[in-house]
Structure 1
């Protein structure tokens, strides 16, 4: 044996983390919803999960607001959502966007064409949840109520007959647009009533009646249940949420424990912190219990976070994906993200603000939310990490949805955070070793002993170390095509069918974690060495590539291992009814019966099963080019900043954003010239690096704004006509060392280093995106 080599036959003896599968605590039952009432063929509901064609199903919902996106980009946004593993689109219907004037006819044209949006979702293969309101929140002024509703002599958000009359008219107008899409073969499968209302169940029932009068109905009627809300469970399906951080706590409050809770595995689904600062006297602080007649489900897992002036959280991709994984490990049967696609308010003055009675000042226009898909369809790192989880759910969600969650009692007692979801015969171990702000330590010598109904599985065969910041889901007794993987220290991504070949199970590694896998001792293994260990055959230290497993009964399964970096480039589109694995750094979407990439630079996609001649690794490769020319960016400061006045704290603990007059008086002014050919309508972004407090831009009459948090700022400079020169005017309001706002750590360090107020643009580049259809897909 070479010096330092590990003896594969030696099992280290050290305490393993033990847990035994615990079955469901109540028999499976079916509520009236989606079964006896509003039944739809192929969709049903139990107290354990939603059923699709009789099989448990975990929907993956992403929020996109049609009124905050240009209509011409809806299709691309929806294709990207589908590519990210979203199968249901949720959208608010903001009354104030459609009908700002009481006696004006509501507009459903252009970016407000709700029916066209829902129909487009259906065409692209996505179902829809209408978040009907009429009070929505969504960081919109009045929660989405038009001013004339707020100023009327009735009490809004109650059963005041005059308020209900106004809502009846509004719902009737929505019904005339989309009621025909709510039938048994339509794309609308859910309707949310109101939002964050805590103590008026009768009002929710009244809204449901009004929706039905208007022809609006769906098998799933939902309501937000956080904050121990008193909602009419049974008439509505209670949904929950979880954010890694939020703007709604005070500037100096620190990382609130309501956010911390989402990085653990727990049977607690209520988060009383969401919307706490708007709840007023209705907020109790009491944590509500999940209702036993309905499964654990979410509609607002934080896909990012909006920026208020006083507090500007910037959750990382790991923050966002770790929360999502913790919910899956805790028993979630519905993953819903808010937001999944960012956007821009349709006009100024529609944001919540101190001036309109809110405790938070939001940007007038910017609603990017740091979402997986940005306001201008930028793809963020969180998109990739979530996509890996969603690919797993697409392939194995029916199994996972049928599995109860068993969580160690000492999960958050300084030990490893983990859980088991199992049906007693097989399962998945979920592990989270990531936490922002207060990082968790690396873990050494990790090993599990999992008790199933008829056996115990000890794995891995020797303890492994888990770096800080990692989160994982490992299979136990996973059966695919008659072949059993006893365990693996790899994440499950998907299963592929290859013509004339055994199916392929795709697994992904984590950086810094030893990748091992075991099968029953009698199995044959081709393509990687294996050793017998304790009645199992173990494959150690797996690297990217294929190997084949053959059971004692002749079942065959190919296994493909991807590295952690490959996993973040792994797309699993379906073309002609067949799921593919595509490795690409550029987004890959289903389009025109095939696949296309949205890229700003040339690249190559690797495809399995191959579409042409395969390389030695089994993948075919398809290069693509982009025709975009290089662009020269020139930045000219046309006016310097001047020292700003002290920011007023008009709400306790929360400063107000600069007034328009202050901004005009003190902001630095820049003219940015972009030279180089640009085509009309071809998505193009000016990416700025800057240091400042707030900033605004103007291009071809389109305004944008941002509250700086240390991130780059992308400005849409897509031209209306072909041009070879574009000019963007940018103003940056200065940031001072004592500006009373909460900033992420890196930005906070920059602020602390300032000796005088800063309003600087420090870098700029242009990204232009082209859609290129890939060959070889029919």
Structure 2
């Protein structure tokens, strides 16, 4: 999905039909073709005469997007059934490459929510077609746009560039691994996949049509012959001249179908992304909402194919949330943990008011009665529980690495997420500490005492600038300076795609560059957390883990209210729900029932500022 100004779409250009077709004929024939289901037999999906054809008949794709990695696997079927009951006939999915290959050559296509082939088979079992969007780049407000951050361990990497050997070697490995899984799931093989997208929104990044042609050829070399699509803003495609000949042209938030048809020729033009909601960033005044009913009504009336981005957003569990920024890496905007997106099926899987509006509109358009709306998974509250201090980050530092000057965590440690600590002695007189290229949030300590924080975000409630004033050490010639840097997700849209984390510039005290640092890697991953040594005595320094036992008589989905806390991370029974931040607007983290158990549950909090615990409670909604 594109990072651009939100479009409340209400006016559509009339459909430019191929010769020999009229609006009534297309609508009637498409309705008949819509009754064709993915039944395990081979089906022929074609791009011809400006139409999608299924077994030779015009077919109207009525798609809703959802992403398996953002949904607990046990809820996949319920979410798919919800989309079907709203009247859709297709599910669009992104594959997040970095969720499938966290380290070079180490793939996991089967655990948890990574088993996209199983998700696709469930779509087929539920009578839903699939529009596959496998990347390698997907955007989607996901960390690094779905690209694996291990690519940033190459100092001179140029991503989305056919002439960069390191990038293309990784892309070839990815497609060679994914294509054999995709091939038997294509409609021509008896599966539900109608069409495969080539990359995503490339015109918003580059202008080398040869790159898109190469990506398509890699799929073809591995037996995936399409049909193919691209999806982008019309203005960007027109400017960069990156329409891929022979592909369906999906417009993202754009309605100039006639203008697009002039570029696509005989290939179909459709709404590749239509937005019922929008992105929410940390620091936004409120959760973003949308208004899609007018657009949907016209799409239906004209028989126009569409993909609703998103019909269900889910959650950016773990370190999944991405970020946006300007091309010079300024105006950094990290995405919140929730990917509710204002979508018609909310984060918990419940229908919203828009869901019922859209369902009624689609029901009036299709010939067959819609299925009943599935039940929503049970949701529970729990009474406030107050964790106790458990461990200090400062007691759990791994051995340091000595470096002359800062550089990105990916280059220093091969570390993709989490924290890093910079430490060294400085003159005791104090003064102005300036950090250039700090990514993304830092707390500063002098002789073990908290001094101040710095944030990469440019927000009214946050400190402006990139410097803090260090106090003079009391009767000492030297003081110990410590800079603890926490990271948000990597930028995933636009040209700022070398968004390495930690500190990527210089550190200066009173305008003099400081060199010679001890640096500690704090990845916050499962293996590091497993070795946490508990507190000995009382801790008064920020950077504390807090732990609580939550006793439950019954389990269900819940939203964990962290509004009394400041900034940090929450794990439930070892599962990282994601980031929380007092800045808002999100104060509650979605926790699926499958991550809870009857009896005692373990809650672990790492807060960057609090030294005293605060209550945590379970509530029934993301907001309100």
Deviation at 1:675, TM superposition (A): 5.9
Q: Distance in 2 between matches of 1:78 and 1:332?
A: 23
Number of equivalent positions: 447
TM-score normalized by the length of structure 1: 0.48
Structure 2 gap ranges (5+): 1-12, 22-41, 390-449, 467-482, 488-539
Going from structure 1 to structure 2, the CA distance change for 1:214 and 1:44 (only over 3 Å counts) comes to closer
Q: Contact between 2:386 and 2:614, CA under 8 Å: does it hold in 1?
A: no
Name the residue aligned to 2:575.
702
Deviation at 1:201, TM superposition (A): 1.7
Q: Contact between 2:282 and 2:336, CA under 8 Å: does it hold in 1?
A: no
Q: 2:195 aligned with 1:190, yes or no?
A: yes
Name the residue aligned to 2:65.
63
Q: Contact between 2:543 and 2:607, CA under 8 Å: does it hold in 1?
A: yes
Q: Distance in 1 between matches of 2:16 and 2:147?
A: 43
Answer 1 or 2: which has greater strand percent: 1
Name the residue aligned to 2:78.
76
Q: Distance in 2 between matches of 1:127 and 1:71?
A: 19
1:744-755 alignment runs, 5 A limit: none
Going from structure 1 to structure 2, the CA distance change for 1:221 and 1:108 (only over 3 Å counts) comes to same
1:54-453 alignment runs, 5 A limit: 54-102=56-104, 104-110=105-111, 111-152=113-154, 155-160=158-163, 162=165, 163-184=167-188, 185-198=190-203, 199-229=207-237, 230-242=241-253, 267=256, 291-311=264-284, 314-316=287-289, 319-325=291-297, 327-328=299-300, 331=302, 333-345=304-316, 347-348=318-319, 351-352=322-323, 359-363=331-335, 365-395=337-367
Q: Contact between 1:228 and 1:289, CA under 8 Å: does it hold in 2?
A: no
Q: Contact between 2:338 and 2:586, CA under 8 Å: does it hold in 1?
A: no
Q: Contact between 2:300 and 2:365, CA under 8 Å: does it hold in 1?
A: no
Q: Secondary structure at the match of 1:204?
A: helix
- The structure number with the bigger radius of gyration is 1
Name the residue aligned to 2:420.
none
Q: Distance in 1 between matches of 2:321 and 2:289?
A: 28
Deviation at 1:391, TM superposition (A): 2.4
Q: Contact between 1:205 and 1:232, CA under 8 Å: does it hold in 2?
A: no
Going from structure 1 to structure 2, the CA distance change for 1:389 and 1:222 (only over 3 Å counts) comes to farther
Q: Distance in 2 between matches of 1:381 and 1:672?
A: 37
Deviation at 1:172, TM superposition (A): 0.9
Q: 2:619 aligned with 1:765, yes or no?
A: yes
Q: Contact between 1:133 and 1:193, CA under 8 Å: does it hold in 2?
A: yes
- When the two chains are superposed, the root-mean-square deviation of aligned CA atoms in Å is 4.7
Deviation at 1:303, TM superposition (A): 3.7
Q: Secondary structure at the match of 1:297?
A: strand
**Range 697-706 or range 194-203, more displaced:** 697-706
Q: Distance in 2 between matches of 1:296 and 1:665?
A: 59
Q: Contact between 1:635 and 1:671, CA under 8 Å: does it hold in 2?
A: no
Going from structure 1 to structure 2, the CA distance change for 1:178 and 1:309 (only over 3 Å counts) comes to same
Q: 2:348 aligned with 1:598, yes or no?
A: no
Going from structure 1 to structure 2, the CA distance change for 1:95 and 1:675 (only over 3 Å counts) comes to closer
Q: Distance in 2 between matches of 1:99 and 1:393?
A: 42
Structure 1 gap ranges (5+): 1-20, 30-39, 243-261, 271-286, 396-494, 497-571, 574-581, 583-587, 590-596, 602-629, 735-758, 768-778
Deviation at 1:89, TM superposition (A): 1.7
1:453-602 alignment runs, 5 A limit: 572-573=370-371, 582=372, 588-589=373-374, 597-598=375-376, 600=378
1:121-159, Cα deviation, whole Å (9 max, x unpaired): 212222212212212222233322223434445643233
Deviation at 1:662, TM superposition (A): 8.5
Q: Contact between 2:580 and 2:587, CA under 8 Å: does it hold in 1?
A: no
Q: Distance in 1 between matches of 2:208 and 2:284?
A: 31
Q: Secondary structure at the match of 2:364?
A: helix
Q: Distance in 1 between matches of 2:600 and 2:616?
A: 21
Going from structure 1 to structure 2, the CA distance change for 1:660 and 1:79 (only over 3 Å counts) comes to farther
TM-score normalized by the length of structure 2: 0.59
Deviation at 1:186, TM superposition (A): 1.7
Q: Distance in 2 between matches of 1:661 and 1:155?
A: 25
1:753-776, Cα deviation, whole Å (9 max, x unpaired): xxxxxx998985358xxxxxxxxx
Going from structure 1 to structure 2, the CA distance change for 1:717 and 1:222 (only over 3 Å counts) comes to closer
Q: 2:598 aligned with 1:723, yes or no?
A: yes
Deviation at 1:212, TM superposition (A): 0.5
Deviation at 1:660, TM superposition (A): 7.2
Deviation at 1:228, TM superposition (A): 2.8
Q: Contact between 1:226 and 1:288, CA under 8 Å: does it hold in 2?
A: no
Deviation at 1:700, TM superposition (A): 1.7
